Chain A
Amino acid sequence: MNNGLLDLFIVILAGVIHAMLQLGISALLILYHASLGKDIKKKTKELTLNFILGFSLFTGLAVSSICFFILVIFGGVMPAAGVVILVMALAVMAFFVWFVYYRRKSKGTELWIPRSFARFVSARAKKTDDNVESFSLGMLIACAEVPFAAMLMITAGNSIVNMPQGLQIISVLVYVIFAAAPMWLCQVAIHYGDTVVDIQKWRVRNKEFFKVMSGVGFITLAIFMLAFKVFGSL
Chain B
Amino acid sequence: MRIRRKAKLSVDGKQFSEVSLHRDIMREGRVLSRHTGAMEIIADKVCREVAKWVRERGTVTKADLDRVTAARLHKYDADLSYLYRNRGKIL
Contact = CB atoms under 8 A, between A and B. Distances in A.
Interface stretch (A13-21, A110-118, A177-185): A110-118
A197 B28 CA distance: 11
Given A195-B79, A197-B79, A37 B90 contact: no
Nearest to A23: B91
A201 B90 CA distance: 10
B18 to A, nearest CB: 19
A195 B31 contact: yes
A122 B88 CA distance: 7
B89 interface: yes
Contact of A197 (B30, B32, B88, B91): B32
A109 B31 CA distance: 19
B33 A29 contact: no
A195 B89 contact: no
Interface residue tally of chain A, by bracket? Answer: 20 to 34
A109 B90 CA distance: 5
Contacts of A151: none
A23 B90 CA distance: 10
A140 interface: no
Interface string B63-84: 0000000000000000100110
B17 interface: no
A48 B33 CA distance: 17
Given A36-B30, A195-B31, A197-B32, A110 B91 contact: yes
Interface residues of B, number: 14
B91 A121 contact: yes
Contacts of A139: none
B89 A106 contact: yes
A53 interface: no
A118 B90 CA distance: 9
A111 B28 CA distance: 23
Given A109-B90, A196-B83, A38 B32 contact: no
Nearest to B33: A195
Nearest to A106: B89
Given A37-B27, A37-B31, A197-B79, 17 more contacts: A23-B91, A26-B90, A26-B91, A29-B90, A36-B31, A37-B28, A37-B30, A38-B27, A38-B30, A108-B86, A110-B90, A110-B91, A118-B88, A118-B91, A119-B88, A195-B79, A196-B32
Closest 9 CB pairs of A and B: A108-B89, A37-B27, A36-B31, A26-B91, A118-B91, A197-B79, A37-B31, A195-B32, A26-B90
